[in-house]
Amino acid sequence: MKFLIDECLSPQLAKVAIEKGHGETSHVVWIKIGGLKDWELKPIILEGDWTFVTRNSVDFRGPKDKPGTKGQYPEAVQQSLTSR
């Protein structure tokens, strides 16, 4: 799986993913697209077939006080992983 780590997360996360066998992982800063808004990243993510990793869940899921609503990207497929 190809992971693209958002700039709101540490580049260390990308390094860990690579160490764990996800060699095609990158960080937005490493590929010189840091500073772009998520909506500006969207075509890059789709064209590169990336799985985008971010903390900006409200952009994709909507506010937590309004369950079931959509965020800015209602067509995006959601996958949520949580650690315990």
pLDDT, one tens digit per residue, over 51-62 is: 999 887 666 666
DSSP letter at 78 equals P
Per-residue pLDDT at 57: 64
Mean pLDDT is lowest, of 6-10, 28-32, 67-71, for 67-71
CA angle centred on 10, ends 40 and 42, rounded to 5°: 15
Residue 77 reports pLDDT greater than 70:
no
Residue 27 burial (10 A CB sphere; 0-12, 13-18, 19+): buried
* pLDDT averaged over every residue in the chain: 83
Could you report how far apart the first and last alpha carbons of the chain are, in Å?
A: 22
Spatial separation of the C-alpha atoms in residues 63 and 41, rounded to whole Å: 21
